Amino acid sequence: MKNKEKNILKRTILRSILLVLSIFSLVIGILITVEGLTNNKEKKENIVNYETGGKIEYNVTLKDNDFYDLEDINTKNIISKYLNTLDINFKYEFSSSKALHSNATYSLKMYLINSYTQNNNEEELWRKEYELLPETKITENKAVVYFEKQISINYDEYNEIARKFRSESGILTNSYLQLEFSINNELMEETKNISFGDNHVLVVKIPLLENITSIEKLGEFNEKENLYNIEKIDTNYLQLSIGILLLIVSIAFMITAARMFININEVSKYITEQGRILKRYGDVIAETTTKPDLNNLDVMEITNFIDLINIEDELRIPILFYENIKGKESWFIIIHNTEAYRYILKAKTKSKKT
């Protein structure tokens, strides 16, 4: 009996290890399958390197005066009464490591804006638009795109317009000129058919009706970038196939291991019950290694072993014990004349009888 229990314990441990490994393989298979289905990796290829820059430069001319010349003043903060003209130059350059197809447009507009401040909020009252340079197109196919445009502003002309608006409206307005140089450069790398844009606005603000004219430059830029070709890889079919195969094998092993584990558990219960019966009722049980011949007897199946004990007590005939299937099925039989009373103890496994 002890040998049987040891064998069952060994097999239980082995089946448990197999079950754990099967579950582990199942988890790995699921992860590989999911990774194969949702393999949103990207293949990144550097196509071109480029640098783009925009700059604003300006020069001023002064009216005749007895005090200042250009060497004596800060051209960022100019005494307005001496200011004659402003020559503003807008520069744009795009350079790349290889030739690109470029469709560039640029335009220059100026706005004379009058606003007022109320409750710390500036509200625009009136503006006038001037088209200084109409939209111009440049189409090139090379590594460098460069253009610059210069415009001259007569300060007094626009200062007088702002003065007239303030005088006629009767409102203490804030007035300034705003120049906007718009650049729209649509580029294409033709071998890979990849397009992108390089769009900017260079701005110059010139205050009016002020004692000091402080010129402000906005939107200057200098950028270095890389253009990549990004190819998405959605599904890895090899990885997906391996994952599915591993899933199938893991599930099959897990089911087999689970069944074996259940069977061993039932066998263990069977052996325990068999040992209990033999130990408790051993004085009325006779073990035989020869299978009883029941062919010519009227066999009555007993469903409860206690009922068989009651029959033994009444007839005073020993109970024959024979293990019909080793480790799975035992017969307990009382034979009296032409009758046989049989109680069958079985291990409730899914294995077929042999």
For residues 226 and 106, membership in a common domain is answered with yes
| pLDDT confidence of residue 328 | 85
Which residues form the domain of 303? 281-348
Q: Are residues 151 and 180 in the same domain?
A: yes
- The pLDDT value recorded for residue 353 is 42
Position 252 scores a pLDDT of 73
| Amino acid residing at 124 | E
**Per the domain annotation, does 276 fall within a domain?**
no
Rounded mean pLDDT for each run of 10 residues along the chain, 354 residues in total: 54 66 71 64 82 95 83 75 94 95 96 90 92 95 95 96 92 94 95 92 96 94 89 65 75 66 66 87 91 91 92 91 89 93 83 42
The phi, psi pair for 80, rounded to 5°, reads -60, -35
Q: Are residues 203 and 314 in the same domain?
A: no
- What SS3 state is found at 24? helix
pLDDT the model gives residue 262: 54
Which residues lie closer than 8 Å to 234 by C-beta, 6 or more apart? 39, 40
Query: What is the CB neighbour count within 10 angstroms for residue 44?
Result: 10
Clarify whether residues 61 and 13 are in a common domain.
no
Q: What does the chain come to in residues?
A: 354
Q: Do 134 and 256 fall within a single domain?
A: no
Q: Are residues 60 and 190 in the same domain?
A: yes
Same domain, 95 and 117: yes
Domain ends where: 221, 247, 268? 268
Residues 188 and 162 in one domain: yes
Quick check: is 177 in a domain? Answer: yes
Q: What is the pLDDT of residue 68?
A: 78
Same domain, 56 and 201: yes
Residue 73 placed within a domain: yes
Q: Are 154 and 249 in the same domain?
A: no
353 domain-assigned? no
Q: What's the confidence (pLDDT) of residue 352?
A: 45
Which of 101, 54, 100, 96 lies closest to 226, judged by CA?
96
Say if 222 falls within a structural domain: yes
Q: What is the C-alpha separation between 252 and 216, in angstroms, rounded?
A: 76
How many domains is the chain partitioned into structurally?
3
Q: Are residues 245 and 310 in the same domain?
A: no
Residue 151 lies in a domain: yes
What is the distance between the alpha carbons of residues 88 and 53, in angstroms, rounded to a whole number? 17
DSSP 212-232: EEE-EEE--EEEEEEEEEEEE
Residue 354 resides in a domain: no
State whether 87 and 215 are in the same domain: yes
Please report whether residue 274 resides in a domain. no
Q: What is the pTM of this model?
A: 0.57
pLDDT at 67: 82
